[in-house]
Structure 1
Amino acid sequence: NWDKGSIKGLGWSEDEKLIIVSSDGTVRCYYNFQGDFTQFTLGNEADEYGILSCRSRRL
């Protein structure tokens, strides 16, 4: 169940975790098919002003 606002971006990490970024700056990293995840935020400014868009970048 997603409760973090609209999704602004998603993609796969190099170690095959699903990464989802929401409009309030919450980032979830799903690491298995049971729905388990770790979560962090992009900071107070992201929460205050919101995320317009995001993209992944490969180095």
Structure 2
Amino acid sequence: PSHFSSYLKLCIFLPTVFLAHLHRQILLSNNPKDHSSDFNMVQVLVVVVVVVVVVVVVG
């Protein structure tokens, strides 16, 4: 119970930090010098993280 709630907080906290980092990457990617392939990898990682969190929370 208490262990589960701390685990749930972690599942919410990590994607939040990750999305904040992604937002910063999006702002930086307005630079033409940025690599679009790296950005695409980040998008894939975000999708994977979101799916994992949803599965953990629902399951």
Q: After TM superposition, is the score higher than 0.5?
A: no
Output the TM-score relative to the length of structure 1.
0.21
More strand by share: 1
The higher radius of gyration belongs to 2
Report which structure shows greater RCO (CA 8 Å, sep ≥6): 2
TM-score normalized by structure 2?
Answer: 0.21
Normalized per residue, which structure has more helix? 2
